[in-house]
């Protein structure tokens, strides 16, 4: 687990959107999406509730605990 991926996760939780977090971090949305998916696979837990396009991202219970 890399510190930058944790920064991506926190940015997404703050912005409640992967696209908005990507803009804030000056990265592309696919980069952040891929890194977060890899993080979830590494932890073996789903952290984010992904909705349809242009909807806010939510956190699972595991995601809320991980954010703390």
pLDDT above 70 for 53: no
CA separation for the pair 61, 28 (Å, rounded): 27
Please tell me the predicted confidence (pLDDT) of residue 54. 62
CA separation for the pair 44, 24 (Å, rounded): 27
pLDDT above 90 for 57: no
Mean pLDDT, to the nearest integer, of 8-33? 94
CA separation for the pair 38, 5 (Å, rounded): 9
Please tell me the predicted confidence (pLDDT) of residue 67. 93
pLDDT above 70 for 21: yes
Please tell me the predicted confidence (pLDDT) of residue 50. 82
In the Cβ-directed half-sphere of 33, how many Cα atoms lie within 13 Å? 11
pLDDT above 70 for 36: yes
- Max CA pair span of the chain: 28
């Amino acid at each position: 687990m890399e510190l930058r991926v944790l920064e991506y996760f926190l940015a997404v939780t703050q912005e409640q959107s992967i696209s908005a977090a990507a803009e804030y971090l000056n990265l592309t949305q696919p980069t952040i999406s891929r890194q977060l998916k890899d993080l979830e696979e590494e932890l073996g837990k789903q952290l984010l509730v992904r909705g349809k396009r242009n909807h806010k991202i939510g956190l699972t219970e595991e995601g809320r605990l991980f954010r703390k």
